[in-house]
Structure 1
Amino acid sequence: MNRLSVELSEAAVVSNLAAVRRLVGPDTVLMGVVKADAYGHGLVPFSRLLVRHGVGHLAVAHAEEAFRLREAGIDVPVLVLGHVAAADLPGLIRSGVRQTVYAESQARALSRAATALGRPARVHLEFDTGLCRYGLDPADTDALARITALDDLVVEGLCTHLSGTAPELVDEQLARFDVACRAATALLGRRPARHVLASPGIAAGLHRRTAMEMVRPGILLYGLGPSHSPALLPDLPEFRPVLSMTSRIEQLRQVPAGTPVGYGASWTPARPAVVATVPVGFADGLPKALGGRGRVLVGGVRVPVVGQVGMGHLNVDVTRVPRAATGDEVVLLGDRPGQRLGVQEWADAAGTINTEVLVRLAPATPRTVRQLPYSTEQERCA
């Protein structure tokens, strides 16, 4: 009996990819964002699902994630979105991993490393058009000219990141990005692939106004709404959560009315109760704030989490569940007939965003892939 099971639905991944493609058109290249251990879904198993279903480009946050993909035999183009230490440059270049260039000094370091290896460094130039995070100044054409003239630097893409989806913000940022793209195209004698839209822009339907060669879907691929605007998703019912999480009842006890339960005596039943102890807690990524606020499914019934969530356990009130027994399944996240427990529910209870909940899920638990009917084999990847 597994203490904790985390499962990925291949059918949900297929549905989410189809939904993204409907929003951006069949000719737009998808770069699947799998940073932060694929948003807690497991970097390698989730990336394999994307590649299996036609995603030809992946994006990660750091060099370590790119190396893990290559070690797993995933050889599609991978773009590192964030900082790369100088010591990692040779390995990334040898592996054909693309890197985001957002500073001239970084471009020069890449050029030197590529020349020393005798092979090109493939890069995407990022411009800061209003997010005030990473990026080259779109108006600094002198710096852009120096970067594009560097030896052994192949510019494959031009990108920026929107700070929001409000029309005035989008128009302003796109105007700045267009200036940068025109300058880069003139200097290179060709136009690299452009990408601006991540999940919020895709969900908001901005591709109709900002059609470019590539998009970077992230949280949508996992079946959830953009972190800061999850309300967009109810209008897009094709998106289905990919991840489910289950455990089992480890112990049951009859608790008399008026008996305090858990740390700090934070819950006291007003009437006799049946309390189940489940062997998962905040060390597994459950928000501590679920205590007294969260719900789980037992026997198809939504039951409350009572008392505080511990490091390795939680208590739930199963008084309303007929014939609840040790070993019964406890659905922490996922669907059952007529019921759904979602990540957004956890996020709302904890006063945070869905992406924070996902990336805190314990990576040590293997992610099992529930494959489509054409295969009965279960793929397990740590």
Structure 2
Amino acid sequence: MDNSPRQNPLPVAETAWREINLSAIASNYRAVRAAVGQGTKIFACLKQDAYGCGAGKVASVLSAAGADAFGVVSAADALAVREAAPGKPILMYPGIGPDAVDLVRDLDLTISISGEEDLAGWLATGAPLKVFVKVDLGFWRAGVSPANLRRLLDLCASQRSIAVAGLYAHLSEFGDAGSSAPEQVARLSPLLEELKAAGRLPKTIMVSSSESLLHHPEFDMGAVDPGALLFGLVRSCAGRRTLSICAALSAIKARIVALKTSDDSMGAPPDLPGYRPDMRLAVLGIGWGHGVPRHLDASASVLVRGRRASIVPPIHLEHLRIDVTDIPEAMLGDEAVLLGSSGGDRITLPELARVWKTDETGVACGPRESLRRIDVAREFKPNQQEGE
């Protein structure tokens, strides 16, 4: 199999890159839309630069696919999404403060309010604001407690500059260490009934993101805000709902930039795992400066010409070593696949997450801007293994 640069002209000038399948994101969105139906709005969560896939490009794809709104955390993501989706609502999750009021006005953003101090800071700006009130149902993170929700809503209602457009929560990810999803939602349900009876229920109610969307269809309410699910980063796509999704991060690759066989003139091999006399070493143009963890599992390997080559520690800022002693045909410029397929072998997203000592979301969000994104469109089978 020829993996020379001539066979891969797109990233020929790059020593390392990642491949993003934007068509997979659009397909994942359609699966979510089919699951929740047309009566439930979808706020596409694009935090952390759309899970490493590029907030602007993803927003453009999802806007065209019909996403109702977007959720972001950073000002940079808000700017990218607004440019890509001029007419779509953008919900700012907790993060920015009143100092960003000009940005909020200029980009027509909806802010999150998590408590009275939070509200007071924004009121001091004197600016008219659209807000979603966030409730903490047991996540122990941002959000007003259920006991203080009514007072906060009363305060918002007393201010002519505040328009409450929605109320939302994110359910706990503590597993058995925290309350169950039904227990958390049960803390909110009586309050919603009271607000509805008083004619004060905000237009949009949202508590369901990726995991709860799969396991608790009854929590769809007026809107859902999936994030990881849109990018194929949910470990299991089956719950009470089964969705056909595919990972958007389809490959991480690097080129061989140096190649040599060791000899006695280099001194004795370092007393580290993987080194041996007369070994053939290849150096890849990727390192921890691109987002590869500095400490990998001992089983970490890459694919070169369809065969496994072990990674030899340590990892450097811009380089890492691999042992290609058993791949004599390896040559300068060859692709090494950290994630994806080569020949008949494949390194999947779950496998890479294991050797990187993280999870699938950690892999997707780990690469730095120096690891260039290349957009690809590939045919894929629904529910195929992540990284295929």
Give the TM-score taking structure 2 as reference length.
Answer: 0.82
In the other structure, the counterpart of 1:173 is: 184
**SS of aligned partner of 1:288:** coil
> Does the 8 Å CA contact 2:115/2:152 hold for their aligned counterparts?
no
> Quick check: 344-353 or 280-289, which moved more?
344-353
Q: Does residue 340 of structure 1 match 2:346?
A: yes
- Of 21, 30, 52 in structure 1, the residue corresponding to residue 33 of structure 2 is 21
**What RMSD in Å do the two structures reach over aligned CA positions?**
2.9
In the other structure, the counterpart of 2:253 is: 246
Q: How far apart, in 1, do the equivalents of 2:87 and 2:183 lie?
A: 37
Report the CA distance shift for 1:63/1:347 in structure 2 as closer, same or farther (over 3 A): same
Q: How far apart, in 2, do the equivalents of 1:57 and 1:143 lie?
A: 25
> Quick check: 249-258 or 301-310, which moved more?
249-258
> Does the 8 Å CA contact 2:283/2:320 hold for their aligned counterparts?
yes
Report the CA distance shift for 1:255/1:364 in structure 2 as closer, same or farther (over 3 A): closer
> Does the 8 Å CA contact 2:94/2:112 hold for their aligned counterparts?
yes
In the other structure, the counterpart of 2:52 is: 40
Q: Does residue 90 of structure 1 match 2:102?
A: yes
Report the CA distance shift for 1:291/1:105 in structure 2 as closer, same or farther (over 3 A): closer
Q: How far apart, in 2, do the equivalents of 1:300 and 1:131 lie?
A: 45
Report the CA distance shift for 1:188/1:122 in structure 2 as closer, same or farther (over 3 A): farther
- Of 125, 135, 140 in structure 1, the residue corresponding to residue 143 of structure 2 is 135
Q: For residue 93 of structure 1, what is the amino acid of its counterpart?
A: R
Deviations 1:218-272 (A, max 9, x none): 11111112xxxx3x2488683211122222111221236998667x644223x75
Q: How far apart, in 2, do the equivalents of 1:93 and 1:130 lie?
A: 32
Q: For residue 188 of structure 2, what is the amino acid of its counterpart?
A: F
1:96 Cα deviation (Å)?
1.2
In the other structure, the counterpart of 1:161 is: 170
- Of 278, 289, 312 in structure 1, the residue corresponding to residue 284 of structure 2 is 278
Structure 2 regions of 5+ residues with no counterpart?
A: 1-11, 380-388
Report the CA distance shift for 1:92/1:234 in structure 2 as closer, same or farther (over 3 A): same
Equivalenced residues, count? 360
> Does the 8 Å CA contact 2:135/2:168 hold for their aligned counterparts?
yes
Q: For residue 255 of structure 2, what is the amino acid of its counterpart?
A: R
> Quick check: 275-284 or 24-33, which moved more?
24-33
1:322 Cα deviation (Å)?
5.3
Q: For residue 290 of structure 1, what is the amino acid of its counterpart?
A: L
1:338 Cα deviation (Å)?
4.3
- Of 190, 199, 222 in structure 1, the residue corresponding to residue 210 of structure 2 is 199
> Does the 8 Å CA contact 1:148/1:188 hold for their aligned counterparts?
no
Q: How far apart, in 1, do the equivalents of 2:186 and 2:268 lie?
A: 61
**SS of aligned partner of 1:133:** coil
Q: Does residue 290 of structure 1 match 2:299?
A: no
Give the TM-score taking structure 1 as reference length.
Answer: 0.84
1:107 Cα deviation (Å)?
2.4
Report the CA distance shift for 1:56/1:216 in structure 2 as closer, same or farther (over 3 A): same
Q: Does residue 314 of structure 1 match 2:323?
A: no
1:137 Cα deviation (Å)?
2.2
Q: How far apart, in 2, do the equivalents of 1:278 and 1:291 lie?
A: 18
1:285 Cα deviation (Å)?
0.4
Deviations 1:107-128 (A, max 9, x none): 2443453xx44xx411111111
1:77 Cα deviation (Å)?
1.0
Q: For residue 206 of structure 1, what is the amino acid of its counterpart?
A: H
Deviations 1:361-382 (A, max 9, x none): 1123442222479xxxxxxxxx
> Does the 8 Å CA contact 1:131/1:163 hold for their aligned counterparts?
yes
Report the CA distance shift for 1:317/1:69 in structure 2 as closer, same or farther (over 3 A): same
> Does the 8 Å CA contact 2:338/2:347 hold for their aligned counterparts?
yes
In the other structure, the counterpart of 1:224 is: 233
> Does the 8 Å CA contact 1:291/1:306 hold for their aligned counterparts?
no
> Does the 8 Å CA contact 1:101/1:126 hold for their aligned counterparts?
yes
Q: Does residue 145 of structure 1 match 2:154?
A: yes
Q: How far apart, in 2, do the equivalents of 1:11 and 1:260 lie?
A: 50
Q: For residue 358 of structure 1, what is the amino acid of its counterpart?
A: A
> Does the 8 Å CA contact 1:195/1:212 hold for their aligned counterparts?
yes
In the other structure, the counterpart of 1:330 is: 336
In the other structure, the counterpart of 1:352 is: 358
Q: How far apart, in 1, do the equivalents of 2:137 and 2:81 lie?
A: 30
